[in-house]
Amino acid sequence: MQKNLKQVDWLDEPTRQAAVEKLGNMTNLIGYSTLSEHFPFELRGDALLADNMRIIMEYQFNRAIRQIGGPVNRNEWAMSSAEVDAYYHPTMNQIVFPAGILQTPFFAFERHPARNFGSIGFIIGHEITHGFDASGRYYANDGNLRNWWSNDTAQKFSQRADCLIKQYDSFAVTSDADQDKVLGHVNGNYTLSENIADNGGLKLSFSAYQTYITKQARELSQVREAETTELTSPMSQVERSLPAEVADRLFFISFAQTFCEKSSDTVMIQRLATDPHSPERWRINGVASNSRDFARVFSCPASSPMNPKTKCQLW
């Protein structure tokens, strides 16, 4: 992300420096809480559920009261480690990844890195980009709500965001049961921040994957020179011999598989009205169509649906 922030041509220098500073101050919580005090109360197996819930809620309430006026604890988890989710906390300037999402189908240590970077790598990039989306950009590096953008840069951001809004407004959502049945269209304005994070996340994760593969190639070369079989990579010989162009395609296939879903018409119509995320089809195809890397890897013809002349991208 730092590389992107330093390269985008529409940021002026003061805003660029502030953005890099915010990124540098971004922290993360990975896996599970390391705090020793979690459950300083006793729940009874023979008690009513309502009674045990009351004990838990009383503890949470009293704990919140004790924290009023105290320092912000950036090591405190607001999500269970078992949850299959991730989020960016704007007032903490923090990304959080519970253990629940750090496993298959999102991540597995022994599988080809293209699959990991295409799935969990994308999610990580998505959450980082939230710090610079349509709402996250209003929070400074310390998590306080403060405008750190120059007027000129803010205007350029809005122009590029408008490209995404119009693009996603044009995306029709059809029934899974009948592709000719149009249920509605994506609300480009309502889903803007998530779309910014999706597009930025894919670009970040593919760039990170290329950096990783380059590093692995150097390590393999050093291993061969030293005539040893020790490698830091878990990849098998078969995986290491996978052609680069095939591995690149595997990255994007893994990204797409992350959003496999099937919805009823009722659920999809409800989601169009309430969900700030675009429907999965457009989280895949909409993002991929904005990616020059995707078009190159799959040799998409110019001006085709997956390689349009106009591409919308902020980060």
pLDDT at 229 over 60: no
pLDDT at 138: 94
How far apart, in whole angstroms, are the C-alpha atoms of residue 284 and residue 24?
A: 29
The alpha helices in the chain, defined as continuous H runs, are 2-7, 13-24, 49-67, 113-116, 122-129, 151-169, 192-226, 237-240, 244-257, 265-274, 280-289, 292-297
User: For this structure, is 127 an active site residue?
Assistant: yes
3-state percent helix, strand, coil for the chain, nearest multiple of 5:
50, 10, 40
CB 228 within 8 A of CB 311: no
Cα dihedral sign, 63-65-71-73: positive
Of 314 and 43, the one with more pLDDT = 314
Number of other residues whose CB lies within 10 A of the CB of residue 55: 15
What residue spans define the domains of the chain?
A: 2-28+80-297, 36-74
> pTM of the entire structure?
0.85
User: For this structure, is 162 an active site residue?
Assistant: no
For residue 89, the SS3 value is strand
pLDDT tens by residue, 161-170: 999 999 999 9
pLDDT at 89: 94
The single residue of 127, 133, 194, 248 carrying the catalytic annotation is 127
- According to DSSP, residue 300 is labeled P
pLDDT at 225: 57
pLDDT at 282: 95
pLDDT at 264: 95
pLDDT tens by residue, 233-259: 556 566 667 888 999 999 999 999 999
pLDDT at 78: 81
pLDDT tens by residue, 30-54: 998 876 656 677 788 888 999 989 9
pLDDT at 219: 67
Please give the CATH architecture assigned to the domain spanning 2-28+80-297: 3-Layer(aba) Sandwich (3.40)
pLDDT tens by residue, 262-290: 999 999 999 999 999 999 999 999 999 99
How far apart, in whole angstroms, are the C-alpha atoms of residue 303 and residue 228?
A: 49
The single residue of 133, 198, 227, 293 carrying the catalytic annotation is 198
Mean pLDDT of the chain: 90
